[in-house]
Chain A
Amino acid sequence: MDRSDDVLQLQHIRKTYPGVVALDDVSLSVKQGEIHALVGENGAGKSTLIKTCSGAVVPDSGVIRVNGKEFKSMTPQLAAENGIAIIYQEFNLVGGLSVAENIFLGRAVRKGWVIDKKAMARETEKVFQKLNIHIDPYELVQNLTVGYQQMVEIAKAIQQNAKILIMDEPSAPLTKVEVNSMFKIIDTLKASGVSIIYISHRMDEIFRLSDRVTVLRDGAYIKTLMTKDTNVDELVSLMVGRTLTEKFPERKPCVRDEVVLELDALTGNGDSKISFSLRKGEILGLGGLIGAGRTELAQMIFGVVPKTAGKIIFKGKEIAPKSPREAIDLGIALVPEDRKRQGALLSMSIKENINMPIYEKNAKLFVVDRAKEKSAADQYQKEMRIKAPSINQLVKNLSGGNQQKVILGKWLAANSELIIFDEPTRGIDIGAKYEIYKLMNELVEQGKTILLISSEMEELMGMSDRILVLSEGRLTGELDRGSFNQETIMSYASVVQEEETA
């Protein structure tokens, strides 16, 4: 056993889910007082890794060593006892309680039967002083800004004697000023010997804060570097650096001249002045980080959220769909990012899912035409190669890939011409991914048009004819197939608009 000054060691952690290897032999060590950055693309395994420290994920194999004590797996209680605390993006605070009460949540200081608010406030003040935080302990948490709420979260962890603080994209919800105050607190923590694992997409933060940085990719450990010995380019290429293999089926060139969709300075739902055009038979990729405004754009085109300005021109006519129904009737479809909650009607059959948008069209005097219902379901089960014993099978009993095919079948039944795919292969295993890609190719070859939103760089580059990149609700770059380049896409995706520009 090594007698290093590592306070936390994760060794050879492996975690699999049915069909997916989430973590494959990943190791990470953190020294006392070190700020250790953890980077990787979406889905690289960062969250899964830190969840093994909190006990939310039980690894299949591997060792977690905290201050020399070895664990096969953690529980939330064990983690707390051993001084590990995680600050998630979603805070664990109760808005209607005071700051002090939140810090002592579940461990209220009592005098007999009565909660001793004064004692709690005193203790809270002590922690705040240590961290140089200025918040009234009696203030209700719901009255605090997100930045202050985060400080309360941190103070709560420190009050509970956390020695290892894990922060999952802590700067994401904060303004610039708030980020700066957070940095100061992190500096104070570091000086007092607390170790921090810092997860972030933002390169500038990683170089500002961290001592070392570990890169994960596709659930695998890539490398740990001294931050001062590396640079942005090296990190990015380590994060995305893989060569495209034959993961994507061949597609005949099928982009026609006819423009199907044109956006002219489309604004609303967090996006502003998005303009581009999309031609028949084209797969246009939309890249960007999570929260860049891509799903929001899809929602406007599909009539879920109204636009506030600009134009949507579909097949030469300006449209303003006020509901998904209107968009569907025009020939637009959306395969949403959350398949289980937004896409499929899990408790209904394949047949009913496929027919849902066309029941009204096929009905005579409100009565479902059962013959057409069955023939549509049969047809698209066959075309989409949905593997199920019968069209009466409930969709919840299908695999992720087959659920996605049911959703696709639904849109083909509705005769959609433009299909927006939002993260179409998220949570789908590799074999089924290939199937979905093949179906997408068949669709454009038949003259359908696809807008593909994806956070998987490989998928985006493997499938698109052209890629547009969004950052913070704006279009920041465009690449043609010949000039696809992961680094360029990443750099477009992390363009930060100056808030000061009026």
Chain B
Amino acid sequence: MKKLVHLIKEEAIFIVLLVLFIFFMCTSDRFLSLPNLLNIARQVSMLGIASVGMTYVILIGGIDLSTGSIITFVNIITAYFMVNMGMNMWAAILIYLLVSTGIGFINGFLVANFNMPSLIVTFASQIIFEGLAYIISKGMPIFGFPAAFSEIGQGYLGPIPIPIIIMTVVFLIGGFILNKTYFGRYFYALGGNETASELSGIRVKRVKYLIFSLSGLFAGVAGIVMLARTNSGQPTAGKGYEFDVITAVVLGGVSLSGGSGRLANVVAGVLIMGVLKNGMVLLNISSYVQMVVEGLILLLAVGFDCVQKKGLIKA
């Protein structure tokens, strides 16, 4: 019985996903079709990619508010390099990933060395890089990419859209880092107890550099997909994106107080976001109502986490 309760708690997210799935299947006849399902997966691909880095950050009890801004900023400079300077697409992508990782690293450096709360550090970089994106683009979108680049966002490999493939690969890599390498062990250790981690020989600062760098890197990968899909560098491209990502991660049961969470559940969290959005569109629910629902979901997810924590303390 106790095991069953534990199982339900642990796997609740999959049950929710299933229930939503069945609900939309019953209420909309267009929901359950291969093209629609692929469409959902493609829509959440950027969210999924970025959620991996965010999962790491939240696992150690931090938060990264710069995700959207990193996407915007690097979108703009890459678009600028490719379109205005005619740079080779692969070189631009490489620069893209380096810069996004670099911004993440700076976040991590500030958090680790000056004991600044990640909430504030990443919020500051959010503002800074959004501003820089406006300065470089002068507020105007940049478009006209090579066709090969657009393939990343719009192309197919066989029947499967390329963004879905990228997301799958990122999830696999993310899961590998978390479950197979010692960094994964360190992430959990740090989230559980930073002092004890340090005294057990973990170089806490370096782990933080790594985590925020990875968060930047994965935000960068998500941004490339976005840039290729929209086919234009917009100075508003990633605005507010981090909140979708945080919602998905928290929905996936990663505790905001750090130390516990599983990537598989985050995948489910991401899918719930996608299914919900898609289903609501199919049911002709207005985008304003969708916002309300999203907010309520975030509250529910965090509330569930907090109530569970409280229960643990009492026990």
Asked whether A and B interact, the reply is yes
Contacts A325-B201, A356-B202 given; indicate if A347 touches B181 (C-beta within 8 A). no
- CA separation between A352 and B197, bound complex, in Å? 11
| Beta-carbon contact of B185 and A325 below 8 Å | no
Q: Given A325-B203, A363-B181, are A343 and B259 also a contact pair (CB < 8 Å)?
A: no
Task: A359 to B181: give the CA distance in the assembly, Å.
Answer: 9
C-alpha gap A13/B99 in the complex (Å): 67
* Residue interface bits A346-379, CB-to-B below 8 A is 1, else 0: 1110001101110110010011100000000000
B192 CB-CB contact with A under 8 Å: yes
Q: Nearest CB to that of B193 among chain A residues?
A: A345
Interface string of A462-482 (1 = CB under 8 A from B): 000000000000000000000
A-B contact pairs, 5 of them (CB 8 A): A325-B203, A345-B193, A352-B188, A366-B181, A366-B182
What's the least CB distance linking A193 to chain B, in Å? Answer: 44
Any chain A CB within 8 A of the CB of B9? no
User: In the assembly, what is the distance between CA of A328 and CA of B260, in Å?
Assistant: 27
How distant is A382 from chain B, measured CB to nearest CB, in Å? 21
Query: B8 near A: Cβ within 8 Å?
Result: no
Contacts of A216 on B, CB cut-off 8 Å?
none
Q: How large is the interface on A (under 10, 10 to 19, 20 to 34, 35 or more residues)?
A: 20 to 34
Contacts of B202 in A (CB 8 A): 325, 356
> How far, in whole Å, are A352 and B192 apart by their CA atoms in the complex?
12
Which B residues are CB-close (under 8 A) to A304? 198-199
User: Which 3 residue pairs across A and B have the least CB separation, nearest first?
Assistant: A359-B182, A357-B201, A347-B192
CB-defined contacts of A363 to chain B, threshold 8 Å: 181-182
B195 touches A341 (CB 8 A): yes
The distance from the CB of A169 to the nearest CB of chain B, in whole angstroms, is 26
CA separation between A304 and B185, bound complex, in Å? 22
Are B181 and A367 neighbours in the complex by a CB distance under 8 Å? yes
Interface check B196, CB cutoff 8 A: yes
Shortest CB–CB separation between residue A270 and chain B, in angstroms?
A: 19
Question: B203 to A323, Cβ gap below 8 A?
Answer: yes
Within 8 A of A (CB), among B176-217: 180-186, 188-189, 192-193, 195-203
8 Å CB contact of B200 from A346, A347, A356, A366: A356
Interface residue tally of chain B, by bracket? 20 to 34
Flag whether A324 is at the interface (Cβ < 8 A): yes
- A360-B182, A368-B180 known; A345 vs B201 contact (CB < 8 Å): no
Which of chain A's residues have a CB closer than 8 A to the CB of B185?
Answer: 348, 352, 355-356, 359, 368
- CB contacts (< 8 Å) of B197 on chain A: these are 345, 356
**B181 & A345 in contact (Cβ 8 Å cutoff):** no
B200 touches A368 (CB 8 A): no
Measured in the bound complex, the distance between the Cα atoms of B200 and A356 in whole Å is 6
Residues of B within 8 A of A353 (CB): 200
Q: B183 contacts A366, CB within 8 Å? A: yes
Assess whether B189 is in contact with A352, with CB atoms less than 8 Å apart: yes
A414 to B200, CA, bound (A): 10
When the two chains form their complex, are residues B180 and A345 in contact, meaning their CB atoms are under 8 A apart? no
Q: Which of B181, B192, B201 lies at the interface centre, i.e. has the most chain A CB atoms within 10 A of its CB?
A: B201
Assess whether A324 is in contact with B180, with CB atoms less than 8 Å apart. Answer: no
Q: Using CB atoms, name the residue of chain A closest to B177.
A: A366
A311 within 8 A of partner (CB):
no
The complex places the Cα of A328 from the Cα of B181 at a distance, in Å, of: 21
Q: Within the assembled complex, what's the spacing in Å between the Cα atoms of A417 and B181? A: 28
For window 86-133 of chain B, which residues contact chain A by CB distance below 8 Å?
Answer: none
Question: Which one, A334, A341, A347, A356, contacts B259 given CB within 8 A?
Answer: A347
User: CB-nearest residue of chain B relative to A299?
Assistant: B199
**Distance between B172 CB and nearest chain A CB, rounded to angstroms:** 14
A342 within 8 Å of B by Cβ?
yes
Task: Assess whether A348 is in contact with B182, with CB atoms less than 8 Å apart.
Answer: no
Select from chain B the residue with minimum beta-carbon distance to A407: B200
Q: Does the CB pair A334–B182 fall under 8 Å?
A: no
